[in-house]
Amino acid sequence: MNAHQPAPYAALSMYIDGQFIGNDSRQGEPVFNPADDTILGQLPHATKEDMDRALDAAARAFDQWRWTSPLERSRILRRVAELIRERADIIARDLTRDQGKPFVEARHEVYSAADHAEWHAEEGRRIYGRVVPPRTPSVRQTVVRQPVGVCVAFAPWNFPFNQTLRKISAALAAGCTLIIKPAEDAPSAAVALARLFHEAGLPPGCLNVVWGVPAEISNYLIRSPIVRKISFTGSIPVGKQLASLAGAHMKRVTMELGGHSPVLVFDDADIPRAAALLARLKALNAGQVCMAPSRFYVHEAVRDEFTDAFTKAFSSQALGDGLDAGTTMGPLAHKRRVGVMEQLVADACSRGASVVTGGKSLSRPGNFFPPTVLIDAVDDSRVMQEEPFGPIAPITSFREVDEVVTRANALPYGLASYVFTRSLKTSHYASTRLEAGMVNVNHFGIALPETPLGGIKDSGVGSEGGSETFDAYVTTKFISEETA
Ligand code: NAD
């Protein structure tokens, strides 16, 4: 498949009780291409009746799916992984069209989702219980883990294929059924996933995909007594709202929320290597990655060397439509985020920072904002306090290891973090004290299917991936039986 071959954009629909619906006159919203502002398609919104149908279907399906053998669930997930790989280019092309990321990145996202499906297919076969030695021989005590029930998930727009697939895989592999509301901004990915699961033989009702006004959907579904668990990936304010509502109705939550990942570059680090890696990570998905490096604390002795090398690599990105050959950084997914980037730069500069490169939006259609490096950003500037979620890298300097760890830990975020040093002692000191759910030392090694991904503090609750992935999808039941 040639990435540049014109082909129609995905037919958008909902997926409820095994049927693709919504290609009628119901209300909806247009979907835009962030690279040129053109309209790609019309997304149907769910009515209350649609949501009731999805709830009813998920509840009915749960009664069957929970007793389906883990081997059979595994077989379906494996088939989905195969289909993902077969259709990767078609899925990736639509992902680039509605989300904006370069085609190469979209393809990578799709292939990595196949890995997640396969891993969950295997790990779902290992949801074990245990036997507790009894106090009397006539009693048998077992602890079993059972699927929690119908789940509702809200997936984000930055990795709409991978993140949606991860939520679906974890729920289904654990024996739960699911209603998912993916992000309306980049909907082709979830529609493609629904088609793949349908084709792989997933029974009707196990997976349901609905779209609509996010607050209306979440309000309705989270309150429903049918729903037992909520999973959300997105911003902290929305996560807190949904977690409060879930708490009021005593439902489990997994919250994967925003981060503002500190990067600690020590004076003994391999500076060219650190700068090249960080520039590449920062440019990924135009910086719209929850674990992107986003606050750069560089030892004063290597500040200039690092800033020069980083700026050179980061500013060399080729901005453009992700389907154009050679594009290495696409547009931001939303127009509103371009304005936010400009405000963050203006605020930092008003407090003494200087723009080393970038800083201004481009006068062309689409939501383009260039790679931007700010030097001497003070700790209380907005860009050092608020997750930029875009291609801005604020750099500041430090002197002492305990000083920089304290500064890094000063914010309420606690998702990812980065440390660059050749000293084992410094690495150990920083990695054990950084308040973050994940620490990368001298490389990027997180977000694999087999490793837990999750935040602490305001960055969330629970983990996706790793053997922890099923914790929120299963309940623990203790059974004590008198056997004689
Ligand atoms: P936003 O808070 O407006 O929306 C974030 C996501 O939440 C969107 O997908 C939206 O559809 C959904 N949402 C909003 N209100 C909701 C509600 N009441 N119920 C259910 N879903 C709801 O933020 P934004 O401007 O779209 O994105 C920027 C921010 O989002 C960033 O600062 C970042 O923190 C966060 N974000 C984080 C991740 C992540 O991977 N953790 C992914 C995407 C976005």
Report strand pairing: 460-461 vs 252-256: antiparallel
pLDDT for residue 4 is more than 60: no
ipTM score above 0.85: yes
Helix (H, G, I), strand (E, B) or coil at 206: coil
What does the pLDDT look like over 316-362, one tens digit per residue?
999 999 999 999 999 999 999 999 999 999 999 999 999 999 999 99
Residue 229 and residue 253 in contact, taking contact as beta carbons nearer than 8 Å: yes
269 Cα: distance to centroid of ligand 1 (angstroms): 35
Q: Is 124 in the pocket of ligand 1 (CB under 6 A)?
A: no
Task: Tell the residue nearest (CA) to atom 17 of ligand 1.
Answer: 215
483 Cα: distance to centroid of ligand 1 (angstroms): 52
- 448 CB-side CA count, 13 A: 7
Which pLDDT does position 350 carry in this prediction?
A: 98
Measured CA to CA, the distance from residue 236 to residue 257 in angstroms comes to: 5
Provide the β-strand partners of residue 44.
Answer: 28
**What domains can you pick out in the chain, each with its CATH number?**
14-257+460-478 (3.40.605.10), 261-448 (3.40.309.10)
Residue 229 structure tokens = 């668990």
Residue from 213, 238, 290 to probe ligand 1 pocket by mutation (most atoms less than 8 Å from CB): 238
What pTM did the predictor assign?
0.96
Task: Tell the residue nearest (CA) to atom 40 of ligand 1.
Answer: 290
DSSP state letters, 450-470:
TS-B---GGGEES-BSSGGGG
Residue 38 structure tokens = 């053109």
Residues forming the active site: 256, 290
Residue 439 structure tokens = 């620490």
Mean pLDDT over 204-218 rounds to 98
Model confidence band, residue 25 (pLDDT cutoffs 50, 70, 90):
confident
Measured CA to CA, the distance from residue 207 to residue 190 in angstroms comes to: 11
First-to-last alpha carbon distance for the chain, in angstroms, is 66
Which pLDDT does position 93 carry in this prediction?
A: 98
Task: Tell the residue nearest (CA) to atom 22 of ligand 1.
Answer: 214
- How many other C-beta atoms are found inside a 10 Å radius of the C-beta of residue 107? 19
Residue 31 and residue 43 in contact, taking contact as beta carbons nearer than 8 Å: yes
What does the pLDDT look like over 372-397, one tens digit per residue?
999 999 999 999 999 999 999 999 99
DSSP state letters, 317-355:
--BS-TTSTT--B---S-HHHHHHHHHHHHHHHHTT-EE
Ligand 1 atom at shortest distance from the alpha carbon of 257: 41
